[in-house]
Amino acid sequence: MKTHAITTSIRRSILAGGILDLASVSHAATVTWGAAQNITGDSDVSTAGTLVAAFNLGGTGVGNTTVNGTTFTGLALSGTGVTSGNFTFASPGLIGFSGGGGSVVAPFINLSASYQTMLSSLVGTLSPTTFSLTMNGLSVGASYQVQLWSNDSNGFTNSPLTATAGNSIALNSNASGVAGGLGQYGIGTFTADAASEVITFSTGNQALLNGVQLRNLSAVPEPGSALAGMLALGVCLSGVVKRSRRQTVEA
């Protein structure tokens, strides 16, 4: 039996308590998704633009992990909603697992230790198998990139996760269905037309999400970087002026 399966009694209790109508939540801008990609290694993690936030999702005790230079902050999910900064996960029944999605066999075991950590922890849902991510504090007119991972390498039945924000993408958690098998990640882009963006997750089975990151593709360079660039330009121009003066004198 799957260790993080949802019992019928829990399903009934959640249903009896009322269902949050996530379908009625406005998603704001439409996300344009690329094709779902199979998980292969650290380079899966996008480093485009400037990092806004990245989360390693799981249960109590889930830790931080750094993959391809990006630090995913551990965020434990449970209950009906969890907020961290400008990010809120909500559902009638969120439940996180800090190590349920890993395996001791290949190809999972061939991944870096830090990537294994991120893909081993995951969040699922109690019935109904739907939850949402609301990202606040966006700059209207700025371009953003969002990346999602769905992986369950324990060898349980594949549980495709659908992420919807105007458009949809479906991610396999383990298409092979064997221990050590790997899931998929997806990358989407959008231009913020409001301060908030909502992504709704759903599945016919149990929704599984391991990690998420948001990157600002329109962010200006950090002040220090901008200053360094200006100084470098000044040195360059100074050299040009000196060479020009020498050439004038020699002439």
Convert the pLDDT of each residue in 174-187 to its tens digit: 989 899 999 999 99
pLDDT at 54 over 70: yes
Q: 119 and 198, same structural domain?
A: yes
Which pLDDT value is given to residue 7? 31
Residue range of the domain that includes 230 = 221-251
Q: 196 and 247, same structural domain?
A: no
pLDDT at 2 over 80: no
Q: 202 and 88, same structural domain?
A: yes
Closest CA to 57 of 209, 162, 251: 209
Q: 237 and 154, same structural domain?
A: no
pLDDT tens-digit series, residues 225-241: 444 444 444 544 445 44
In a domain, 77, yes or no: yes
pLDDT tens-digit series, residues 126-175: 766 789 999 999 999 999 999 999 999 998 888 899 999 999 999 999 98
Six token digits for residue 58: 């799981």
More confident position, 150 or 206: 150
Q: 228 and 202, same structural domain?
A: no
* DSSP 8-state symbol, 155: S
Residue type, 33: W
**Residues 145, 28: Cα–Cα separation, whole Å:** 15
Q: 201 and 113, same structural domain?
A: yes
Structural domains counted in the chain: 2
* DSSP result, 95-126: EEESSTT--SSTTGGGS-HHHHHHHH-EEEEP
The alpha carbon of residue 210 and the mean position of all alpha carbons in its chain are separated, in whole angstroms, by 8
Q: 231 and 192, same structural domain?
A: no
| pTM given for the model | 0.79
Q: 248 and 150, same structural domain?
A: no
Q: 210 and 176, same structural domain?
A: yes
More confident position, 80 or 235: 80
In a domain, 1, yes or no: no
pLDDT tens-digit series, residues 101-137: 999 999 999 999 999 999 999 998 876 678 999 999 9
Six token digits for residue 147: 């990346």
In a domain, 2, yes or no: no
Q: Is 138 helix (H, G, I), strand (E, B) or coil?
A: coil
Listed ranges 26-30, 89-93, 206-210, 219-223; the one with the highest mean pLDDT: 89-93
**Residues 73, 54: Cα–Cα separation, whole Å:** 6
Which residues are CB-contacts of 249 (< 8 A; sequence separation ≥ 6)? none
Q: 142 and 227, same structural domain?
A: no
In a domain, 180, yes or no: yes
Q: 211 and 148, same structural domain?
A: yes
Closest CA to 75 of 66, 88, 67: 88
Q: 189 and 246, same structural domain?
A: no
* DSSP result, 185-215: EEEEEEE-SSS-EEEEEE-SS---B-EEEEE
Cβ contact 55:96 at 8 Å: no
Which pLDDT value is given to residue 221? 52
Strand 50-58 relative to strand 197-202: parallel, antiparallel, unpaired?
unpaired
In a domain, 116, yes or no: yes
